[in-house]
Amino acid sequence: MNNQHTPPPFDDRDLGQPPRRLRILHVAETIQGGVASYLETLDKTSPHDNRFLIPGSQAHCTSIAPDKLLPFKGERRLTRIAHLFKALHGALRRERYDLIHLHSSLAGYVFVLRRLALLKSPPAVYCAHGWSFLRETSRLEHLACRSLDFLTGVLANGIIHISRTEQARAAFIPNANQAVLYNPIDPHYIAQPPSTAERSANTVLFVGRLDYQKGFDVLYRAFLDPALQDCRLLVAGSSVLASSAYGETANVRFLGWQNKESLHRLYEQATLTIMPSRWEGFGLVAIESLARGTQVLVNQTGSLPEIVAPVGLVADLSRADTLVEQLRHALDAPPRHTPEALHAFVRERFAPERFARELSAFYARTLGIDASLQNLPAQS
């Protein structure tokens, strides 16, 4: 099936009209975690008319204006997929969109069903937000995810990778229209320079889900080691799929999920933020921490080394004993970069205005239109 699309003539310039905003339908089966932050920042900086087809049960996860949301039903994943297919079909029948932007694997798989059913759709770009076939799963699930991601990538009109590492791992997908666009930092985290107040000594921050992917089990075991008894671990997050089996100790404190303002303060309070993830498509927590001038220590896996280079600390955090050793070394060594330098690094590489320009240019290339006909944000 041909994934090329010939758009209708785009002649606003010839008509003497002002540049037209593209009408974009963003589609996500789930937005919990990094996808919600991604969509919020996109909404704040994109010059286009964006609408967001998301699960109604997760609408509370985003601050996007309700009039831009197209919520669909479904609490559990299987029911959400069925409702998403129906909701996407209804949305495309009711309104005209220039482009569909698919977020994460299952949204892509729903799009594949539409294409295979020969249902008419606008051109679509696909961002896996971390390829599903790179997760640690059974051999059968790995093969299924790899095959479905291949099919989605072939049928899409373009692919957005969130890192060069992700792009290299997906090199087997033959789509001529691909680009690497780093996830943007939320403007909230770079609006002000980092605090000059003294940080708490030997305070380590973990932000995220307490699950296998994030490696929290390894981190928790490490903090039971006497070598870290003078260190404090602050945990901003919780379990998502099941109740937590972890309890507080003398040096481990659970704070639950935190809003942006609270996270802002926690980043600046900590000596270091740690990410012991077993796999990670991007690592938004790392750049949020660096934006607030706080050093990060990340596992040498996935895209994490690429995202934090050259300012972040990268080490083998796959076992509790090596994590203790590497964390002790990171806390005892003098800082390699000032908080101001870490903040400047994020402003340069992950600026939301830069992301908006690059995304708009990719949309234009996908549709075969002149990028100058779009209201692109000015370079800061």
CATH code, domain with 313? 3.40.50.2000
Mean pLDDT of 136-160: 93
- Residues 145 and 205 both lie in one domain: no
Question: Are 197 and 330 in a shared domain?
Answer: yes
- Please indicate, yes or no, whether residues 29 and 69 belong to a single structural domain of this protein: yes
**Is this model's pTM higher than 0.85 or not?**
yes
Task: Estimate the share of the chain in helix, then strand, then coil, as percent rounded to the nearest 5.
Answer: 40, 15, 45
Domain boundaries, position 286 = 188-348
Q: Is residue 210 part of a domain?
A: yes
Same domain assignment for residues 124 and 178 = yes
**CA dihedral in degrees (223, 228, 230, 232; nearest 10)?**
-40
Shared-domain flag, residues 243 and 359: no
Same domain, 209 and 306: yes
In angstroms, the CA 268 to CA 288 distance is 10
311 occurs within a structural domain: yes
Residues 340 and 195 both lie in one domain: yes
Same-domain status, 341 and 362 = no
pLDDT tens sequence across 171-223: 999 999 999 999 999 999 999 999 888 888 999 999 998 988 999 999 999 99
Task: Kindly state whether residues 156 and 225 are assigned to the same domain.
Answer: no
Specify the pLDDT at position 6: 39
- In whole angstroms, give the CA distance from residue 189 to residue 290: 9
Q: What is the mean pLDDT of residues 286-295?
A: 97
Q: Does residue 207 lie in a domain region?
A: yes
Which of 32-41, 103-112, 119-128, 148-157 is predicted with the least confidence, judged by mean pLDDT? 32-41
Domain identity same for 126 and 153: yes
Cβ-based neighbours of 353, under 8 Å, separated by 6 or more? 45, 377, 378, 379, 380
- Residue 197 shares a structural domain with residue 323: yes
How many structural domains is the chain composed of? 2
| Residue 14: pLDDT band with limits 50, 70, 90 | very low
Identify any residues that bridge with 24 across adjacent strands, giving them in sequence order: 50, 99
- Residue 284 corresponds to which amino acid? L
Query: Which of 148-152, 236-240, 284-288, 309-313 is predicted least confidently?
Result: 236-240
φ, ψ of residue 29 in degrees (nearest 5): -80, -30
- If asked whether residues 251 and 305 sit together in one domain, one would say yes
